[in-house]
Structure 1
């Protein structure tokens, strides 16, 4: 059984005012030791508030927080064995890189020699040992972020909190830093709790993801589970792209259920043996799970291409199934990068029944 690094129990956070705002609404879950755990959600969902509660920068309204079984609910920030890396690096501009990294260690009572030795090891870990005597202004944004990471890791905290640390970097740097962060977490064995609104970032780095909305945790699972089997429509819609349809069950037989969407369009999906005909559900299917093919049979869904969006490695096709219904298909581009069809083309779609997911309608 995995050791628990952070235990969140019945945590509430209310900001009193006119009106009062419930930023967190009675949430409970555990973060495992040596885990890269991500809090993911849109702005205002409560993810940064929760991170600040763990760090001790905010006070709990109700509930408890434990760190490795120690109740830290009311400990001041300096008494908690955690460190935080923020979006802004906050390096001391008048100190060299090694002095920045060693600063916190000296404040903890380390001798200058001990602090510098530990700082050198951290700079080596983040691949900046050749930059030890430089000043922050002589480093790029990505290098400064790695210095901030080295400084936070140097005291060997039990948990490292990361509040959208990559959002100020350009796309290429963000992609490189994802790999760096995951490598650092793996090599140090420290529990990372990472906050982001970027779904791709969360999927790329996390061992588990907590998707949050309106102060509540909607789902906690591994990245592939979050993407492939979301718990509800919010998660399905927030993580990646999806086609959603209100549907009714036509019939169930031979391990397949036939669903009707729109005006007479039928899709074959997962078997729902215990639901009556005409039961209402919501279907969703990822655009990349659908294939455009150049032949037609009665078993396939057909339509007309209305729009094409070139995305580099892939192309999105908006296909009209009938006057009130459309679907987005994403196909990987071929070697020549040319689209496989053009607007106005009549096409058929192959949708594997196992790729269609079911979300119960609220009124079903």
Structure 2
């Protein structure tokens, strides 16, 4: 057990994120059942929250998602380049973005201000085709979206562009700020703002195809927010957006990603031996140290130093010392392990392994961040992939 014996010779990755597409499809089914009267948008931005955008998009469509949601135009165009033909909504734009490319690719683009309406109408003229546009209202989140005071001007201008054949307003939408805090007073306020914006858009002569505000927590806990379409993100990947109300199993969901690695070193060290940078951890006695070849360059949070949970040699343990760029150490005490043995950072929890939510609690963050930060050095392996 000195790190040189019994080494595995077969080709195997040092680390892997196993993505269970059957679980993802089942999650889509469970979420659709909670909003059975609304259409379903699968949010696959940020590489499908770290799970792999194109495979997850295809799996979601197989499970009944008619719409896909992304943040950037580059994500939308990547879906089109991969042959994904579903309706795609893109919402995060800056001046000079690839408006024409998205118009020509039949992407529904979000407009939140007059400058964006001018750019998309110009792109439509240049492309010689009608742009599909969704107008976003800032219902209270304070990020993107038109302020209610600016909404009348935007809707009138959008209707004029629609009359000229340059655009078709396909949707009106907004985003909750506090839907993950059940009972928060902002929820009702934002629903009121959104309903008013929808009514004023109708008064301006617009007839949007879909109205939507429900994100993952809205889909799960606010049926009054479902309108014509719901757009779950993190819940689709089996992570509860409201862990204070219950884990994924409480909502019929299952975590989709399992993050694992293979031990790179196992060795005995004496007591008083420093571990990793700064020697924040010093062995209390003679012990066995196991080296996990993953670090913050792979997405393991440095805030997990001394706290992040892992399953090694059948037991739940915590990171010993600091997480480094490419590796971290676990103290096995008197337990045995071998080079090449699997260590699970997080997964569904079936085998007693930690979950992404456990890592979030250990690091003082949210599970969304834990899965989305898994980096490109970690290959994704898909289980349940279909043609």
Larger RCO, structures 1/2 (Cα 8 Å, 6+ apart): 2
TM-score normalized by the length of structure 1:
0.29
Bigger fraction of residues in strand: 1
**Structure of greater Rg:** 1
